Amino acid sequence: MYLNKLGIDLDYLIKSTCTNVKTIKETTKIPTFWAKVFAYANECKTIKYNNKLSNSDLLPEPIWLNIRIKFKSKPMFISNWTKSGILYLRGHPGIQKHCRAT
């Protein structure tokens, strides 16, 4: 499946929060159908707003395709990092020490 090539699995993608089909499609290169499925599923979730998150709430968040973690105003996805197992803020001390809920 496409997700294995990206270094993520279905469980991880379900934890993402991105609701923009174009962003999901462009960053992951998955087919439009699947990008729509995940975007629309994310629209149905209850997502906490940044001002209600503590640092401990933020640490288990997925890094990629997360509306709270952006670069140039877009959720990020770097396949080389996902393939290396860098998926969550927790477990990466360099990231954790700079992690602040805004």
Would you report the helix, strand and coil content of the chain in percent, each value rounded to 5?
45, 5, 50
- For residues 52 and 42, the model is more confident at 42
pLDDT at 64: 84
Whether residue 96 has pLDDT greater than 60: no
Q: What is the pLDDT of residues 46-81, one digit of tens each?
A: 665 556 667 677 777 788 888 878 888 888 888 888
Closest CA to 64 of 5, 4, 16, 2: 16
Q: How far is CA 20 from CA 5, 17, 24, 54, in A?
A: 21, 9, 6, 25
pLDDT at 101: 45
Q: What is the pLDDT of residues 4-24, one digit of tens each?
A: 777 888 888 778 888 899 988
